[in-house]
């Protein structure tokens, strides 16, 4: 499949699903989509990022070779859709120890930003909450940021915050 051609053709759920189905759990085909994100001209990378997030839900093992690259380059992207989809994919992954600090800092920056969209904040909040299982010392800081940001953000942020507070309370009790 010529992914570039398909992504140029249209941006739709139908097209995304067709590409995702074609990729299946094929690491080589998945890598071609990653390459498009890093080499194509806008708006193609953001369309490809949607595919990454969708494929990752079905075949999470495909993203493992790219976790470090995503963490190291996420701030290079100015397009919200790419950051949002990278964060969504990363929220379901085991983060390498050597990159956890960097990702945690990035996520806190996103959560505290006055310009980041709520979806980026929500996925960032989820990533930090997931990492609290390994780093329970982060719980007070995460709770503080969530409280601070809840009044500034949408119902989606508040709903995820409630779920995360329950998760954090379970971590504390261990």
- Provide the domain limits for residue 110: 95-174
Same domain (yes/no): 120, 40? no
* Among 90, 125, 156, residue at a domain's last position: 90
Residues 6+ apart with CB under 8 A from 106: 71, 74, 75, 124
C-alpha 6: how far from its chain's center? 23
* Among 90, 123, 145, residue at a domain's last position: 90
Structure tokens at 133: 């299982």
Q: What is the rounded average pLDDT of the residues 5-30?
A: 96
Same domain (yes/no): 77, 149? no
Same domain (yes/no): 51, 110? no
pLDDT digits (tens, 9 = 90+) for 93-116: 999 999 999 999 999 999 999 999
Query: What does the mean pLDDT of the chain come to?
Result: 94
Number of domains forming the structure of the chain:
2
Same domain (yes/no): 114, 58? no
* Among 38, 67, 90, residue at a domain's last position: 90
Instruction: Give yes or no for a contact between 131 and 105, defined as CB atoms under 8 angstroms apart.
Output: no
Instruction: Give yes or no for a contact between 145 and 165, defined as CB atoms under 8 angstroms apart.
Output: no
Instruction: Give yes or no for a contact between 87 and 123, defined as CB atoms under 8 angstroms apart.
Output: yes
Question: What's the rounded Cα separation, in Å, for the pair 54 and 14?
Answer: 12
Question: What's the rounded Cα separation, in Å, for the pair 110 and 55?
Answer: 24
pTM of the model: 0.93
């Amino acid at each position: 499949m010529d992914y570039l051609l398909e992504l140029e053709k249209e941006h739709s759920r139908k097209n995304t699903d067709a590409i995702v189905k074609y990729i299946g759990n094929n690491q080589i085909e998945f890598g071609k989509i990653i390459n498009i994100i890093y080499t194509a001209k806008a708006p193609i990378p953001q369309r490809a990022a949607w595919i990454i997030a969708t494929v990752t839900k079905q075949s999470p093992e495909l993203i493992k070779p790219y976790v470090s690259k995503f963490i190291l380059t996420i701030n290079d992207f100015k397009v919200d859709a790419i950051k949002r989809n990278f964060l969504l994919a990363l929220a379901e992954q085991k983060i390498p120890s050597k990159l956890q600090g960097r990702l945690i800092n990035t996520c806190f920056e996103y959560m505290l930003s006055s310009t980041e969209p709520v979806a980026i904040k929500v996925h960032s909040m989820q990533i930090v909450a997931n990492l609290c299982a390994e780093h329970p010392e982060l719980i007070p800081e995460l709770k503080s940021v969530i409280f601070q940001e809840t009044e500034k953000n949408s119902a989606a942020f508040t709903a995820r915050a409630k779920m995360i507070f329950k998760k954090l309370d379970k971590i504390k009790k261990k």
